[in-house]
C-alpha cells in the first residue's frame, strides 16, 4: 500500500472566505464545521460510495475520531469503530455522513442512527443533495435537542454572476480528462507542498469532501449554471500578489453530463496554472457509455483555449497521474515516458518523489 499523504494541521484548519451553509437558512457562515468528526458509513457495501469518508481519513485524520456503520455495511476506513455516545466522549463534535451515494439521497434506514447521534450531543454534517431538515424525524430531534443540521452541498444565496474582472494573487486549478480520477487529491497535495516550501496558499474546496476537509468552500455542482463563474470568483477573491489559491477542480470539459460545472469553474477561477489529472488505462467516460476518454493533449489544448478568455496568461504546469492500479516500477516508467513525450512534468502526487517535486517547481515557476 502506498503511504498516505496527510494534510498538515495548518492546511486542515485553513478556511475558505466563503464557508458552508446551515440548512436552517442557507446563508454563508464564517465559522468552521464542527470538528472532530465521527464518520458515518451507513449501510454502504461499495467502497466507491464511501469516498467522502476515505478522503477525510486520508487527508485529515487528526479531525476524525472514528467510524460508525450500520450492521449491514461492508466497508471500513480502518478507524476505531465507535457509537455516537462513545465518539462524543472521545471529543467528536459532529457525525459526518461519509457516503456519496447515487442521487445524493438519505435512506430511511439511516434515520434512527442519525437521531441517535443527535441525542448523543453531535451535530450532523452532510454532503448529500437531499437536505437534512427535509427528514421530519431529524428536524424534530435537532429542534428538540438544540443540535445543528449542516448541509455543505448547498451554496450561499448571495452569489452574483461572473464579471471576468482580473483579480490579484495567483491561482492554480486542477482539471481532468474525466470525473473521479484525482483532482481533489492533486490539489490537496500541491497545497501541502506549497506550504512545505513556505509559499502562502489556500486550498479552495469546490466539492463536498474538499469542503469537509478544509472546513469551507462552495459546492460547485449545486450552483445554478448562470452563477458558476461568479461562485468561482467568490471562492477565490483578491489576495496578496504572491499568494496562491489552489482550487479543487470538478468534472471535465469533455464530459457530456458535467462539462458545465467545469467550464464555469475555469472561467471564474482564472487560473494562472492548470494541472491536468488523468487515470492511465481508463478508456471511457464514467457513467456515459459510448464516450471515449479524451487525450491529455486534447484536455490541455481545450482548457488553455477556453481559460485564456479570462486569463490570457494561463498555462499548463504538468500532468497528475492516478497510478494506484499500477506497480511502482510500471508507474514510474510510464510517468517518465509520458513526461518525455509531452514535454511536461508527469507525477503521481500520492507516490511523491522527484517527479512530483518537478511538478511543484513547474507550478510555481
In tens, the pLDDT along 134-157 reads 999 999 999 999 999 999 888 888
Burial label, 302 (beta-carbon count in 10 A; 0-12, 13-18, 19+)? middle
Confidence at residue 341, expressed as pLDDT on a 0 to 100 scale:
98
Residues 235 and 355 in one domain: yes
pLDDT band of residue 6 (cuts 50, 70, 90) is very low
pLDDT at 134: 94
Do both 326 and 359 map to the same domain? yes
Q: Do residues 139 and 174 share a domain?
A: no
Q: Note whether 142 and 226 are same-domain residues.
A: no
Residue 90 Cα distances to 35, 84, 142, 182, 339, angstroms: 12, 10, 21, 32, 47
Let me know if residue 339 belongs to a domain: yes
Residues 6+ apart with CB under 8 A from 297: 342
Q: Looking at the structure, tell me whether residues 193 and 341 fall in a common domain.
A: yes
Task: Report yes or no: 216 and 15 within 8 Å, Cβ to Cβ.
Answer: yes
190, 47: one domain: no
Residue 1 has what pLDDT? 26
pLDDT at 13: 37
Residue range(s) defining the domain that contains residue 246: 170-364
So what's the pLDDT on residue 31? Answer: 44
User: Average pLDDT for residues 82-97, to the nearest whole number?
Assistant: 98
Assess whether 259 and 328 both reside in one domain.
Answer: yes
Using 50, 70 and 90 to split pLDDT, how confident is the model at 18?
very low
Q: How many domains does the chain have?
A: 2
Per-residue b or e along 47-58, where b marks 16 or more CB atoms closer than 10 Å to that residue's CB: eebbbbbbbbbb
- Binning pLDDT at 50, 70 and 90, where does residue 119 land? very high
Query: Which of the 8 DSSP states describes residue 62?
Result: G
C-alpha cell at 85: 455516545
One domain for residues 54 and 201:
no
120 and 216 together in one domain: no
Q: Which pTM does this prediction carry?
A: 0.85
Residue 20 forms part of a structural domain: no
Both 310 and 205 in one domain: the answer is yes
Is there a domain that residue 213 lies in?
yes
Whether residue 160 lies inside any domain: the answer is no
Pairing mode of beta strands 170-176, 21-22:
unpaired
Q: DSSP labels for 108-134?
A: GGGHHHHHHHHHTT-EEEE-SSS-GGG
Residue 177 domain-assigned (yes or no):
yes
Q: Taking 70 as the threshold, does the pLDDT of residue 27 lie above it?
A: no
Q: Is residue 41, in this structure, part of any structural domain at all?
A: yes
Domain end position, chosen among 151, 185, 219? 151
The per-residue pLDDT for range 29-59, each reduced to its tens digit, is 334 689 999 999 999 998 878 989 999 999 9
Q: Is 50 exceeded by the pLDDT of residue 19?
A: no
Distance CA 138, CA 262 (A): 34
Residue 83 resides in a domain: yes
Q: Give me the CATH number covering residue 143.
A: 3.40.50.720
Residue 355 has pLDDT above 50, yes or no: yes
Alpha carbon distances (Å) from 37 to 134, 166, 205, 351: 22, 38, 18, 27
Number of Cβ atoms within 10 Å of the Cβ of 252: 28
**d(Cα 75, Cα 45) in Å, to the nearest integer?**
6
| pLDDT of amino acid 215 | 79
CB 18 within 8 A of CB 159: no
Residues 247 and 346 occupy one common structural domain: yes
| pLDDT at residue 17, rounded to an integer | 31
CATH number, domain containing residue 241 = 3.40.50.300
Closest listed residue to residue 186, CA positions, set 306, 346, 15, 3: 346
Tell me: do 356 and 276 sit in the same domain.
yes
Tell me which DSSP letter residue 216 carries: B
| pLDDT level of residue 314 (50, 70, 90 thresholds) | very high
Say which range, 19-23, 56-60, 322-326, has the weakest mean pLDDT: 19-23
**How far is CA 321 from its chain centroid?**
17
Which of 116, 151, 186 lies at the terminal end of a domain, its last residue? 151
Q: In this structure, is residue 78 part of a structural domain? A: yes
Helix (H) or strand (E) holding 95: strand 94-97
State the pLDDT at residue 25: 32
pLDDT digits (tens, 9 = 90+) for 215-244: 789 999 999 999 999 999 999 999 999 999
Q: Is pLDDT above 80 for 73?
A: yes
Amino acid at each position: 500500500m502506498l503511504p498516505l499523504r496527510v494534510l498538515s494541521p495548518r492546511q486542515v484548519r485553513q478556511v475558505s472566505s466563503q464557508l458552508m451553509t446551515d440548512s436552517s437558512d442557507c446563508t454563508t457562515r464564517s465559522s468552521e464545521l464542527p470538528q472532530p468528526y465521527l464518520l458515518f458509513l451507513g449501510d454502504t457495501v461499495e467502497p466507491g460510495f464511501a469516498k467522502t469518508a476515505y478522503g477525510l481519513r486520508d487527508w485529515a485524520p487528526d479531525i476524525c475520531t472514528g467510524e460508525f456503520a450500520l450492521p449491514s455495511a461492508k466497508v471500513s476506513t480502518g478507524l476505531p469503530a465507535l457509537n455516537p455516545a462513545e465518539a462524543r466522549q472521545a471529543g467528536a463534535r459532529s457525525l459526518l455522513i461519509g457516503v456519496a451515494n447515487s442521487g445524493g439521497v438519505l435512506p430511511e434506514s439511516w434515520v434512527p442512527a442519525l437521531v441517535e447521534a443527535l441525542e448523543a450531543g453531535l451535530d450532523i454534517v452532510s454532503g448529500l443533495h437531499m437536505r437534512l431538515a427535509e427528514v421530519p424525524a431529524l428536524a424534530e430531534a435537532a429542534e428538540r435537542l438544540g443540535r445543528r443540521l449542516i448541509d455543505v452541498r448547498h451554496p450561499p444565496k448571495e452569489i452574483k454572476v461572473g464579471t471576468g474582472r482580473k483579480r490579484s494573487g495567483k491561482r492554480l486549478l486542477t482539471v481532468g480528462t474525466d470525473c473521479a480520477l484525482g483532482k481533489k487529491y492533486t490539489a490537496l497535495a500541491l497545497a501541502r507542498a506549497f506550504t512545505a516550501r513556505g509559499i502562502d496558499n489556500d486550498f479552495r474546496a469546490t466539492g463536498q469532501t474538499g469542503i469537509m476537509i478544509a472546513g469551507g468552500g462552495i459546492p460547485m455542482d449545486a450552483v445554478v449554471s448562470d452563477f458558476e463563474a461568479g461562485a468561482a470568483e467568490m471562492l477565490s477573491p483578491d489576495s496578496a500578489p504572491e499568494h496562491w489559491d489552489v482550487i479543487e477542480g470538478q468534472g471535465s470539459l469533455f464530459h457530456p453530463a458535467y462539462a458545465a460545472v467545469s467550464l464555469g469553474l475555469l472561467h471564474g477561477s482564472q487560473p494562472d496554472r492548470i494541472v491536468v489529472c488523468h487515470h492511465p488505462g481508463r478508456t471511457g467516460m464514467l457513467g456515459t457509455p459510448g464516450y471515449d476518454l479524451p487525450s491529455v493533449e486534447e484536455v490541455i489544448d481545450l482548457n488553455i483555449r477556453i481559460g485564456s478568455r479570462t486569463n490570457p496568461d494561463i498555462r499548463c504546469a504538468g500532468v497528475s497521474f492516478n497510478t494506484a492500479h499500477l506497480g511502482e516500477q510500471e508507474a514510474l516508467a510510464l510517468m517518465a515516458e509520458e513526461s518525455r513525450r509531452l514535454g511536461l512534468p508527469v507525477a503521481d502526487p500520492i507516490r511523491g518523489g522527484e517527479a512530483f517535486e518537478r511538478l511543484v517547481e513547474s507550478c510555481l515557476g
